[in-house]
Structure 1
């Protein structure tokens, strides 16, 4: 089984309520078992939601407490992003995921 960002499979879970369906990945999902995952939604963020960016570093810095994930109105969404990342990791472990296809440039 492969974990795949839900937006790449056509799920409307992005911040703007849209998706980033990738036809190759969608067709792959017809041949292989996939586990759709959206860390932002798992972390409790709504769809749609204000876009967020990592400030003060990268994802590793966020996990280390040295950077934040802030939306365009200045709201700190760091806890939601970290919670979603750990929820996704739990799902990966529970399902024996060894391969992931995740959305590039997503703050999660």
Structure 2
């Protein structure tokens, strides 16, 4: 059975990031998987109704898991608390993954939603710290493997190993 993967729409070339850009990472493997209809493109922020462009947002006081349990928040660069929008984005990402049968996700690192290795530190100074965003935290809590765009070789190996053993 072919492994299904939830993938950030911005990594597939869609201009949906906060500043209206993309982070296209269309490697040969991703193009092949896209042709095989393994990839489920999704932008959690758009699904939750956030506009493009939008103000930068960062997690303050923790990481995505903390936000999901109400112990940290997400604010925009003007100080507005947008925690609820991002929590909804995480739940919608989980729903999209589950509805499509995804067992893995390839998400954009650094994002307060999709970050899986690093997130911004909440100071809006460009400083990053180890951590994960809200969607990554929720997906991992529901046993969906999450990889960043910097881990595409690891994702390919993970998929190949999974399919070999099944």
Does TM-score exceed 0.5, indicating one fold? yes
Gaps of 5+ in 1: none
Q: Report the 3-state secondary structure (helix = DSSP H, G, I; strand = E; otherwise coil) of the residue aligned with 2:102.
A: coil
Higher relative contact order (CA 8 A, sep 6+): 1
Counterparts of 1:83 and 1:20, CA distance in 2: 23
Q: Which residue of 1 aligns with 2:78?
A: 73
Aligned counterpart in structure 1 of residue 12 of structure 2, from 9, 18, 41: 9
Which of these residues, 100, 104, 108, is aligned with residue 99 of structure 1? 104
Spell out the pairing of 1:20-99 with structure 2 (5 A cutoff): 20-24=23-27, 26-28=30-32, 29-99=34-104
Following superposition, which runs of at least 4 residues in structure 1 exceed 6 angstroms of deviation?
none
Structure whose alpha-carbon radius of gyration is higher: 2
Cα root mean square deviation, aligned: 1.3
1:3 and 1:99 in contact (8 A); partners too: yes
Q: Is there any run of 5+ residues in structure 2 with no aligned partner, and where?
A: 114-166
TM-score (normalizing by structure 2): 0.62
Provide the secondary structure at the position in 2 that maps to 1:81: helix
Q: Is the 8 A contact 1:16 1:48 kept in 2?
A: yes
1:18 aligns with 2:21: yes
Query: In 2, Cα distance between the equivalents of 1:15 and 1:26?
Result: 23
